[in-house]
Amino acid sequence: MSRSGVAMSRRTRLDSELVRRGLARSREQAVAAITAGRVLVGGIPATKAATVVDGSTSIAVTKGDDPGYASRGAHKLLGAFEAFGVPAPGPEPGPGAEIPRSTGPTLVVAGRRCLDVGASTGGFTDVLLRYGAGTVVAVDVGYGQLLWRLRCDPRVRVLDRTNARNLTPAEIGDRVDLVVGDLSFISLALVLPALRACAVPDADFVLLVKPQFEVGRERLGPGGVVRDTALHAEAVHDVAASAAMLDLGVRGVTASPLPGPAGNVEYLLWLAAGAPPLDADVLAGAIAAGPAGPGRRA
């Protein structure tokens, strides 16, 4: 109760409120419904999972096909795209429509030649295509994992049994404009030089930083989980420092909306040439906000 005796409405993110009201089974499903344009707030399609609503807000979910992304991991990249200002796919706004103003640099996906390292079943590749990527080179050290519909897509080139650490421009056919990655069991510091060599000078990189593979096995907690947020910060700082040696700065950082399989909090780092160094305060804000928080752009 407020001091005046009037109950205060609890304000929360739209995706969380959808779960609370039973309109979605999970935040992942909520984000998918929002991305598909199926969630109406006050009768208007919502575009941001982080939109703040309260208990009295009118919210409805329209019928429609589930987006059916290739994997759960797709929602990690969707979270990064929301945080880094990528416009949601959909029809062009009509005449007189109000265009939201960006609060920072905006990541461009549409029309770009992309590289997805650690593609696995294709969650990130799927998102890239739905957001208008021109082509995607899907790289994985495994074999035959990429979803069949993506493997058959003429915009996708598949490189199975390929270690990203040893990747060369000749293997991928031409240098790329955008690199995304969800790699496990290897530090990004070991992979970044090859990724940088495979990209054009002004390329963007959106990479998943996994503290459990950056801080050393001896510093992992029970179950392989890194719970110390100081170690989270150290992991992201170390990756940013490795990127800086390749003349890449940091445009943004956000906690992944989904944890890793064991519950590890992971972070999506947006790197680009000409961007400033990692801002410790920006990183601290992203860590404090955690998976439910907004991304931070430089």
Q: CATH no. for residue 27?
A: 3.10.290.10
Residue 4 lies in a domain: no
**pTM reported for the whole predicted model:** 0.75
**CA atoms of 108 and 136, how far apart (whole Å):** 14
Are 46 and 174 members of one domain? no
Q: Which domain holds residue 240?
A: 74-88+106-297
Residue 253 pairs with which residues in a beta bridge? Answer: 269, 296
Domain count for the chain, please give it.
2
Residue reference for tokens 């990692």: 278
Residues 173 and 245 placed together within one structural domain of the fold: yes
Q: What pLDDT score does 119 carry?
A: 94
Residue 80 and residue 39 in one domain: no
Residue pair 112/134 in contact by the 8 Å Cβ criterion = yes
How high is the pLDDT of residue 261? 66
Kindly state whether residue 160 falls inside one of the protein's structural domains. Answer: yes
Tell whether 113 and 173 lie within a shared domain.
Answer: yes
> Residue 4: its pLDDT value, please?
40
Q: Is residue 196 part of a domain?
A: yes
Cα gap 30→14, rounded to integer Å? 8
What stretches in the chain show pLDDT beneath 50? 1-8, 65-66, 93-94, 97, 99-100
Query: For position 103, what pLDDT does the model report?
Result: 57
